[in-house]
Chains A and B, each alone.
Chain A
Amino acid sequence: MASAPAGPIASSPPLQIEGLVKRFGKVTAVDGITLELRVGECLGLLGPNGAGKTTLIRSIVGRVIPDAGRVAVFGYPADSAAARAALGWVPQELAVYPRLTCKENLESFGRYHGLAGTRLEESVAWCLDWSSLQDRATELARNLSGGMRRRLNMAAGIIHRPKLVLMDEPTVGVDPQSRNRIFEMIETLHGEGTAIIYTTHYMEEAERLCDRVAIVDHGRVIALGTNAELVHNAFASRSQVEAHFAGPSDGVAAWVAQRGGRLVDSTAQFTVERPTEIAGLLDGAAKAGLEVVDVSLHRPNLESVFLHLTGRELRD
């Protein structure tokens, strides 16, 4: 669906970020990020609130002037007209006109991107179809449900059929059913070869949608790779054991620390090389006078990786 921008450097990667720094007063929101997005790739930016994901996205869109570093979209500077034409942005806010219908919203944003006539009509029709809003085309945006408004927000971001799309937490505040519909939309877009940057603090979204994931914390990319690579780099072949205990947690915390684990929200977490190590843990707990309520063994995921790398939970 998308058309690559014309020009001598159209063969450049969809996105190149080098040493990007952005400070707001004493706060460094982005602290030297370097990233490259491949053609047709969906790259997840995974990190907690305040990690710097949105500032990074706004720098790519050209809405934030970085203090240092460089952003290039298909080789063009981020704030250039060529970059704008090649770039679609779905902001976290519901940035649509509430008093306009779905179709009028799409037409307006299409015109802002220079579309007119048949191209505009076709693009509006495609976006309504993509977002499953055909039967709501004449509905005022303010009368739509939260999930529908999210979809309209996404459609408005790609009305000019860009080759690179930035999505800033597009599922915030939507119900599970609408979230699934949004996932399908993103998968359709991805399937058509559009490069996507997808920011989220939901590990399961990154796992489902993204080819690679960049874990962002305190304005830095602390890990980058595929889901499997990240888990392997952090845990190799090790597994995680989670256990819950009855009774007061004072003694539990001390014992968990002594055994090299962590206590997170009353859940004790241990990393083990082999599942048979569970027996040793249970035995040790019994000797310490702790009553184990339940115990489970599972493979680490991105959340485990984040916890492993930062010592904090993803949604802290």
Chain B
Amino acid sequence: MIVPIIRTAMVGLRRDRAALALSFVLPIVFFSIFAIIFGGRRDTVPKIKVIVVDQDQSPASQQLVKGFQREGSLVIMTSPAAKKGVQQPDYTAATAEAAVKAGDAPVALIIPSGFGANPISFSSGGGQDRTAIELLSDSSDPVAPQMVAGLLQKVAMTSMPDVMAEQGSKYTGQWIGGFTPAQQKQMDAGLERLRQREAAGTAAGNASPTANSSNGEIVAVKTISVLGNHKDNDTISFYAAAIGVMFLLFTASGAAGSLLDEVESGTLDRVLSSRVTMTALLGGKLAFNSLLAFSQLVLMFLWGWAVFKLDFFDHIPGFVVMGVCTAFAVGAFGILLASICHTRAQLGALSTLVILIMSSIGGSMFPRYLMPEAVQKAGLLTINAWAIDGFTKVFWRDEPISHLWPQVSVLLAVGVVLLLIARRIARRWEFS
């Protein structure tokens, strides 16, 4: 009796393409996406962009900058990218801060004037008169600032051996009464050789430092969150947007599935035999889907405000703009999926497949800055990425509504294009 049951089930599964896709295609697709993002080749690991402003221009600060430039995991930017082939002026402290606020880079290092006079310290108490490097951070990226802070200590150890030795000699003089003239002469000669080696670029850049954390305070660092210290709930707004958009997509495709129910029941024929045209019908479905999606977003952010202290009410205009555009794009996406499919089962499988892929590379499951560059670029093909970027601008960066134009334009354009395609495909339901 078992065999006939298995045989019947297998025939059913073979003919249910939706179930087949969910059973076999989806796991493989997801395995591949996660493998690419987290387990891919090393050359695909994302590099952290760091803006460096050297106000000191001392030998020590220049050595530090060079040390940073040799770090393979960082992309050091001393000036904005050239516009139309015109080289832009170097960053200043103000423009670097603005760039971090705008999300151009998650971290900026400001090496202030006077840094070179007393750059490092080997004890926690000895560095109080030092000039601290300012590390301007974007709190929306919790990883990059900490990584750069750690690397700063490492680079200080490896890129400024002469400074380290000189500082060591100062401590020796301070604590044990100084060197004899012969010792001092030998020390100076040694320091000179170190400087020459550093100048020749042969310093052992990757030598293992003994200090391994920013707590070592070899170089004094003052970390400043440029988005304001009040943003202790930044991850909440990220997840409200990221998770929200993913579920909006599911809801919209589910709601658009009512179109398929109407096809299957014959109600669509009856509706289209009335005054309602296919364009009006799709328009009505889109309006409903968008309204539903916007309501979901409102509920989600209100919940974030009530339970997780999300700063919702100070951002209502930006939220409304992004919410409406996101809801429109998501609503059109649902209509398109429904128009492509022939049955609810097909819609269920296709929407699960497409939405999970979009959500994984679009930043709904984990932040895009953790992904390789190529995947980050691919993410821009998703509604999720543009919506999350827009909400990020509103809630993290406190940017004015006018700064949302790229996200608004893309989401509206995507919505219109998807709707036009859906309308074209829906012609098959109009007449036979």
Contacts and interface: CB of A to CB of B under 8 A. Distances in A.
B212 interface: no
A94 B275 CA distance: 20
A112 B271 contact: yes
Contacts of B432: 24, 58, 63-65
A157 interface: yes
A63 B272 contact: yes
A198 interface: no
B183 interface: no
Interface stretch (B84-92, B99-107, B262-270, B294-302): B262-270
B431 interface: yes
Contacts, number: 55
Given A64-B431, A64-B432, A91 B270 contact: yes
A95 B274 contact: no
A156 B265 CA distance: 14
B189 interface: no
A96 B267 CA distance: 6
B275 to A, nearest CB: 5
B276 interface: yes
Given A91-B269, A95-B266, A157-B270, A63 B276 contact: no
A74 to B, nearest CB: 16
Contact of B273 (A24, A61, A93, A97): A61
A109 B274 contact: yes
A87 interface: yes
A172 interface: no
Contacts of B271: 109, 112
A34 to B, nearest CB: 22
Contact of A97 (B267, B276, B431): B267
A81 interface: yes
A310 to B, nearest CB: 27
Given A81-B275, A109-B274, A112-B276, A94 B265 contact: yes
B275 A93 contact: no
A25 B324 CA distance: 45
A97 B261 CA distance: 9
Contact of A113 (B265, B266, B269, B274): B274
Interface residues of A, number: 27
B283 to A, nearest CB: 14
A89 B270 CA distance: 7
Given A58-B432, A64-B431, A95 B275 contact: no
State the majority secondary structure of interface residues on A: loop
B431 A93 contact: no
Contacts of A89: 270, 273
B183 to A, nearest CB: 93
A64 B275 CA distance: 16
Contacts of A98: 265
A64 B270 CA distance: 13
B429 to A, nearest CB: 10
Given A81-B275, A112-B276, A114-B275, A95 B270 contact: yes
A32 B208 CA distance: 91
Contact of A112 (B265, B274, B431): B274
Contacts of B270: 89, 91, 95, 109, 156-157
A95 B272 contact: no
Contacts of A223: none
Interface string A106-144: 000100111000000000000000000000000000000
B269 A95 contact: yes
30 contacts: A58-B269, A58-B432, A62-B431, A63-B269, A63-B432, A64-B432, A65-B432, A84-B275, A89-B273, A92-B266, A93-B265, A93-B269, A94-B265, A94-B266, A95-B265, A95-B266, A95-B269, A96-B265, A97-B267, A98-B265, A109-B270, A109-B271, A109-B274, A112-B275, A112-B276, A113-B274, A113-B275, A156-B270, A157-B270, A160-B274
Interface of A: 24, 58, 61-65, 81, 84-85, 87, 89, 91-98, 109, 112-114, 156-157, 160
Interface of B: 265-267, 269-276, 431-432
Given A63-B432, A65-B432, A94-B265, 10 more contacts: A58-B269, A63-B272, A63-B431, A91-B269, A95-B265, A95-B270, A96-B265, A98-B265, A109-B270, A112-B274
Considering the complex of A and B, which 6 residue pairs feature the smallest CB-CB distances, nearest first?
A: A93-B266, A112-B274, A95-B266, A95-B270, A95-B267, A65-B431
